[in-house]
Amino acid sequence: MSLGYRNMLAKAKGLAIVGLMSCSVVAYADDVADSERMLCSISKVTLCVEDGDCFPISVFDVDVPQFLIIDLKKKTISTTKASGENRESKVAHLSRESGRTFLQGIENNRAYSFLIEDDIGHLSASVARDGITISAFGACTDANID
């Protein structure tokens, strides 16, 4: 592994505080249109640097939680209790329109944005800071599983 790549990964670890949650799944998740609390799972993460290079990476390389709870009532994104991480981010902007849920905020000088396709539970997310972005894809289901 080159020194430049290692340095880039070291910088990226700090970027992931919000826990980009996402997974690029061929199979769809669930209809979450009526959900107020969702469990989301991460599958694919890509890191890009300002020179234009992008790298597929593991969620573990950038300290992204594998599972997240998105609570629309509380306007929070948090790790699951089982993760033992006890991380939570407040959502500054929440909107539901045209069959999509949008969440945005700023945490530790990093901007984040999430889009959830309500009818299929597909999640697309990004976190940005100076010179680095992380994009992730995932799937969400209602956290109140019956």
- The ranges assigned to domains in the chain are 3-142
Please state, in angstroms and rounded to a whole number, the distance separating the CA atoms of residues 4 and 70.
Answer: 34
Tens-place pLDDT, residues 13-48: 444 433 343 333 344 568 999 999 999 998 899 999
C-alpha dihedral sign at 94, 22, 107, 130: negative
Distance CA 103, CA 62 (A): 21
Residue 111 · residue 102 · CB < 8 Å:
no
* Average pLDDT over all residues of the chain: 83
What residues contact 29, with CB distance under 8 A and at least 6 apart? 120, 121, 122, 139, 140, 141
Residue range 98-120: mean pLDDT, rounded: 96
Q: What is the pTM of this model?
A: 0.78
Fold of the domain spanning 3-142: Lipocalin (2.40.128)
> Rounded to an integer, what distance in angstroms lies between the CA atom of residue 118 and that of residue 102?
10
Residue-wise pLDDT tens digits, 73-100: 999 999 998 888 889 999 999 999 999 9
DSSP assignment letter at 23? -
Which spans in 16-107 are helix H?
A: none
Among 60, 19, 32, 5, smallest CA distance to 141 is for 32
